[in-house]
């Protein structure tokens, strides 16, 4: 895995070993994710590098996989920025649109983690997905991402016997599993 916290796709393309690793042909799938708000703050740059990475993956015989991120918690100061759209719903709409466009253009997979978060926050508001910083995930938020990846990549529902991390009550894990199963269909 090649990951640098807070790095843009351009940073990864220009300043890491990502291109060489992809070109090695050692992967069946290659997952791409820019920093959380990159698709909104730099949409043209995000699109350019998302397509570069998608093309590199395809050229190496791998499936490009785009990890759609999620909006910040309601009330976050980021919503004072014009590019955010002013609300979690608008922010999520923008993030989703950019990742969907990249995945469609490169004929890749879109792992709709942000959409799974949106549904969970709407239908299960007692489940806390955002950590205290309002951006990063709690254990439940991470589990939802894992479940969404599983259902997208395998085309199967998450097994009811799947392990659940400490701190996530079984009822919450069940609700998250149901959301992930539904979002990937």
Read off the pLDDT of residues 116-136 as tens digits, 9 standing for 90 and up.
999 999 999 999 999 999 999
Cα 176 from Cα 150, distance rounded (Å): 12
User: Would you state the pLDDT for residue 166?
Assistant: 87
Across 146-156, average pLDDT: 97
Over the range 31-60, which residues count as b (16 or more CB within 10 Å of their CB) and which as e?
bbbbbbbbbbbbeeebbebbbbbbebbbeb
Residue 6's pLDDT is 85
* pTM as predicted: 0.95
Q: Does residue 16 surpass a pLDDT of 80?
A: no
Its CATH class, for the domain covering 1-111, is alpha beta
Average pLDDT over residues 56-82: 98
So what's the pLDDT on residue 4?
Answer: 80
pLDDT at 184 over 90: no
Kindly state the tokens that stand for 54: 């998608």
> With bands split at pLDDT 50, 70 and 90, how would you rate the model's confidence at 25?
very high
CA dist list (Å): 21 to 16, 25, 61, 91: 10, 8, 13, 32
Whole-number Å distance between alpha carbons of 170 and 185: 23
- What pLDDT was estimated at residue 133? 97
- The residues spanned by each domain of the chain are 1-111, 114-185
Q: What is the mean pLDDT of residues 60-71?
A: 98
pLDDT tens profile 99-121: 999 999 999 999 999 999 999 99
Q: How far apart are CA 127 and CA 2, in angstroms?
A: 30
């Amino acid at each position: 895995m090649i990951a640098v916290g807070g790095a843009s796709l351009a940073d990864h393309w220009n300043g890491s070993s990502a291109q060489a690793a992809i070109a090695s042909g050692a992967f069946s799938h290659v997952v791409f994710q820019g920093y959380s708000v990159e698709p909104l703050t730099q949409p043209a740059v995000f699109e350019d590098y998302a397509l570069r990475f998608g093309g590199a993956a395809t050229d190496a015989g791998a499936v490009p996989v785009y990890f759609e991120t999620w909006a910040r918690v309601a009330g976050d100061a980021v919503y004072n920025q014009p590019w955010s759209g002013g609300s979690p719903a608008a922010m999520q709409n923008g993030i989703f649109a950019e990742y969907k466009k990249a995945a469609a253009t490169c004929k890749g997979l879109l792992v709709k983690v942000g959409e799974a978060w949106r549904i969970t926050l709407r239908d299960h508001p007692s489940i806390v997905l955002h950590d205290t910083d309002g951006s990063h995930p709690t254990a439940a938020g991470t589990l939802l991402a894992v479940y969404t990846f599983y259902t997208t990549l395998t085309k199967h529902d998450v097994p009811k016997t799947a392990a659940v991390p400490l701190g996530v009550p079984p009822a919450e894990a069940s609700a998250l599993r149901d959301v992930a199963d539904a979002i990937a269909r």
